[in-house]
């Protein structure tokens, strides 16, 4: 029996893992659940990802692109003349504005690094890359503070179910940027 060439299989497995985690959480992730979701043989998942941590690393890398895409699309990191606090508050609103599933998934994978050391380097990379991008508009220390505040605001929205308050976010981000309290 000849092997079928399937260059997209690895990506389909990552996409399936993201869907499984989105529906069942990380606790529901297994090679078997991903294989069923991706409609591939179980051996394919273990061929491409020997451990679940390897699969979670790939899923986290892909999921981390969500907020990065919003930041890029906003153009605010290239527009040095605009109000950074306002632009970041608007970007957070765009990210949180629709279905929270993607945002929840991104944070679930990001926070999984607390218990899964294999994920920590990916979470750290995302933090470093985003802070570097924000530092184009401010200094590195302020960029990290902005990122921490935005993470906190997002987690509060996700955990409490409260609506995102763009005016509040703009005011707090402005304070971190050196605005008056």
- What pTM was estimated for this model as a whole? 0.81
pLDDT at 7: 78
Percent of all residues in the chain with a pLDDT value above 90, rounded to a whole number: 53
Please give the C-alpha separations between residue 162 and each of 106, 120, 171, in angstroms, as whole numbers: 19, 29, 18
Distance, in Å, from the CA atom of 146 to the CA atom of 1, rounded to the nearest integer, reads 56
Domain encompassing residue 162 = 65-176
- The average confidence (pLDDT) of the chain is 88
Instruction: Provide the 3-class DSSP secondary structure of residue 63.
Output: helix
What does the pLDDT read at residue 97?
A: 84
CA pair distance 82, 64, nearest whole angstrom: 25
105-143, pLDDT tens digit by residue? Answer: 888 888 888 888 988 998 888 889 999 999 999 999 999
Which of 144, 141, 162, 140 lies closest to 153, judged by CA? 162
Q: Could you report the per-residue pLDDT of 1-53, keeping only the tens digit for each?
A: 445 667 799 999 999 998 998 889 888 999 999 999 999 999 999 999 999 99
The CATH number assigned to the domain holding 35 equals 1.10.10.60
- Among 61, 77, 94, the domain boundary falls at 61
């Amino acid at each position: 029996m000849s092997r079928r060439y399937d260059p997209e299989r690895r990506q389909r497995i990552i996409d399936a893992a993201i869907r499984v985690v989105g529906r069942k959480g990380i606790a529901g992730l297994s090679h078997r659940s991903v294989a069923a979701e991706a409609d591939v043989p179980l051996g394919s998942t273990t061929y491409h990802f020997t451990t679940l941590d390897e699969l979670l690393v790939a899923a986290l890398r892909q999921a981390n692109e969500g907020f990065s895409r919003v930041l890029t699309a906003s153009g605010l990191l290239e527009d040095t003349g605009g109000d950074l606090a306002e632009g970041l508050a608007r970007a957070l609103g765009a990210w949180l504005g629709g279905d929270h599933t993607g945002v929840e998934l991104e944070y679930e994978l990001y926070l999984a690094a607390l218990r899964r050391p294999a994920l920590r380097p990916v979470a750290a990379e995302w933090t470093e890359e985003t802070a570097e991008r924000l530092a184009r508009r401010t200094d590195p220390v302020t960029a990290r503070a902005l990122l921490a505040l935005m993470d906190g605001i997002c987690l509060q929205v996700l955990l409490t179910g409260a609506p995102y308050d763009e005016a509040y976010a703009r005011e707090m981000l402005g304070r971190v940027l050196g605005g008056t309290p």
